[in-house]
Amino acid sequence: MKNILITGCSSGYGLETARHFHSQGWNVVATMRTPREDVLPRSERLRVLALDVTKPESIAATLEAAGPIDVLVNNAGIGLFGAFEATPMATAREVFETNTFGVMAMTQAVLPQFRARRSGVVVNVTSSATLAPMPMVAVYTASKMAIEGFTASLAHELEAFNVRVKLVEPGYGPTTGFTNNSGSRMDGLIPEAYAPFAERVFAAFAQRLR
């Protein structure tokens, strides 16, 4: 029976991915910053573990608790919407810590077992924003574009060890918690000068979702 570890399972794509693989008979380790066992079915094949991908000690503890895995899905991420001009560099770094360096750290942590076993799959979840650039999400898009290049290069690097690296570029989903995950980071990121443009962007975005 295959074992899969998925990051960012509290909502959206991570949650649905955990549900899907569990329904297919896999052993699932669903991770979240703040564990919520009520969102997933109770099962001997499913465990919910706490994980903060920005903290090395959290990564190490989670992988030790998880045991050997066959697949890692790097889904954890945070959103950000606002004018780049108004975005503090500290906020940009915070987004990259989760969306970019968190993915790299998780991947690096599982590679020794994959390489030694000469099997394993890493799936990195980015965004359709990398395919069709959107305004007001420059930092977010940059954090995801970095993973696109990372994934492409790493796939060649690990091919000799029979370890596969894949990319998923999902579109926006209303249940992903993109806005909720943005939190207070978005405060003040739409200055008055940008407000008319931001309103048009919001209106166009809402129109696409109808």
- C-alpha neighbours within 13 Å on the C-beta side of residue 82: 24
Predicted TM-score of the model (pTM): 0.92
Per-residue pLDDT averaged across 114-135, rounded? 94
Task: Identify the bridge partners of residue 166 per DSSP, sorted by sequence position.
Answer: 123
Reply yes or no on whether the pLDDT at 178 is more than 70. no
Residues annotated as part of the active site: 140
pLDDT at 174: 60
- The per-residue pLDDT of the chain, averaged, comes to 92
Calculated CA dihedral for residues 92, 94, 98, 100, nearest 10 degrees: 40
pLDDT at 29 over 80: yes
- Model confidence band, residue 179 (pLDDT cutoffs 50, 70, 90): low
Quote the pLDDT of residue 181: 58
Where does 3-209 sit in CATH, by number? 3.40.50.720
The answer to whether 128 and 178 have CB atoms below 8 angstroms apart is no
Q: Residue 72: which H helix or E strand, with range?
A: strand 71-74
Q: What is the pLDDT of residue 61?
A: 98
**Position 202 pLDDT exceeds 90:** no
